[in-house]
Structures are given as C-alpha cells and as structure tokens.
Amino acid sequence: MNPFPTRQAAEAYLVRIPDAAVRDATRTRLGLTADAAPAPVPVRAPPVQTVAFHASDQKQAPHATLTFTLPFPPSLNSIWRATVITGKDRRPQARILLSQEGRAYRRAVRDVIHALNNPHAPPGARLAVQLTLHSPTRRKFDVDNYAKACLDALTHAHVWADDSLVDELRITRGPVTPGGHVHVAITPLGRTLYAPAR
C-alpha cells in the first residue's frame, strides 16, 4: 500500500533513504517501478522583461545593463541533496547532488535566457549583479539563501562563464508578488557590453 498522495511525494521520501538496497526494497513495497522517472517539479516562468540593446550601442552606453525577470529561486537548502552510493570497491560513498527542484529551476532559467536570444558576457568581463527577490508569500526568509541558485542557474544558461566573474552582488527584498519572481540586473564593470549569441 502506498500512503503517499503522489509519486513525487513518494520519491521525495525515498531519496532520504541512504542505503540503495533499502531504498529499492521500499520502492518495490510502495508499488513504484525503479525505472519510471518521477514527474518533474513544475517551475512557472514569469513574463520576460528586458532592456534591449545592440552592439552599435557601445559608444553611447559602454556600461549597458541587462535586466530580466526569472522565477523565484529555490532555497540553497533545497537545491542540493546528500546521498550514499556504493563505489566500485563496494564501499559506501557520500555524494552531494543537485536536487530535482534545483534541476527544474535551472531548466526554467535556461528557457528564459533562450527567449532573450541567449545574451552572454564577453570573455573575462567583471560584473555587478543586482537581485530583487519578490517572494510569493509573506513567510520569513533569508535573502542570501536564494542568491546561489539564481547565480548558478545563470552560469548553467551560459550568461557568463562562471559566477566567480561577479565582483559586486546586491540582494534586495522586494514586495510580495503572487507566484514570486526575482528581478535581475547585470552590469559589466568595464567598457564591455553583453551581446546576443551569434
């Protein structure tokens, strides 16, 4: 008998079981097949808002800022999960993996960036980033817990080569917004511009 209301709830329970054999046996008792993938966590992307610019704008706006809106990011506490796997030597090994929620968020950010025609930073450009978090609820939260998921997702979407290029980071709490979102503003810290990918 499966006491969980959805397969996703059952999978969330199963990933907390460190022993793979016990996890598989529990999955079988619940009537879940090991090869069936759990339903993806839906992440609703808000409407894209951006400031358009072109390479010809460089003389007039050497420090042009790229702005857009992303879905509200998951907390740092929920984007990683610890698991234990059996190595080649049959010894258990601890691994930290990106969670299903973290993977879903990266896909949503990638889709927003793709809709913006894949803007990216010039190689080696140093960056200033402003994040304004609009929470979907009035629940208390630490603003710094939400920046890492957003920055890593932008790296994964190839907006920049690595988030180590961010020299200035400012995180602001915005008003509560239904559904939640984060407003992102990225400014190069030199005479460089973002340009759409060719």
For residue 153, give the CATH number of its domain: 3.30.1330.70
Number of domains in the chain: 2
Mean pLDDT, rounded, for 171-183:
93
Tokens of 24: 């598989």
Q: Which of these ranges, 34-43, 89-98, 128-137, 156-165, has the smallest mean pLDDT?
A: 34-43
155 and 68 belong to one structural domain: yes
- Looking at residue 38, what is its pLDDT? 46
**pLDDT of the residue at 111:** 93
> Does 114 share its domain with 31?
no
Average pLDDT value for residue range 6-12: 68
Q: Are residues 31 and 114 in the same domain?
A: no
Q: Are residues 148 and 72 in the same domain?
A: yes
Question: Averaged over 165-188, what is the pLDDT?
Answer: 93
Torsion sign (Cα): 101, 103, 108, 112: positive
Question: Is the pLDDT at 132 greater than 90, yes or no?
Answer: yes
Q: For residue range 21-59, what is the model confidence (pLDDT) as tens digits?
A: 777 777 777 777 644 444 444 455 454 444 443 333 333
Most confident of the ranges 54-68, 113-127, 128-142: 128-142
Q: What is the pLDDT of residue 50?
A: 45
CB 193 within 8 A of CB 55: yes
Whether 58 and 17 map to the same domain: the answer is: no
Question: Range of 23's domain?
Answer: 1-39
Quick one: pLDDT at residue 39? 47
> Residue 12 — pLDDT band, cuts 50, 70, 90?
low
* Residue 98 pLDDT level (bands cut at 50, 70, 90): confident
List alpha helices for 17-134, DSSP H: 20-29, 76-79, 100-115
Mean local confidence (pLDDT), 178-183: 93
Co-location of 83 and 169 in the same domain = yes
Helix then strand count (H, E) for the chain reads: 5, 8
**Distance of alpha carbon 171 from alpha carbon 3, whole angstroms:** 41
More confident: 9 or 195: 9
Q: Is the pLDDT of residue 175 over 50?
A: yes
Indicate whether 84 and 178 sit together in one domain.
Answer: yes
Do 48 and 27 have their domain in common? no
The chain-wide mean pLDDT, for the chain, equals 76
Residue 80 token pair: 């990683």
Same domain for 11 and 26, yes or no, is yes
Q: To which residue do tokens 């010039």 refer? A: 122
Q: At 65, is the secondary structure helix, strand, or coil? A: coil
pLDDT value at position 5?
67
Do 54 and 133 lie in one domain? The reply is yes
CA distance 172 to 146: 11
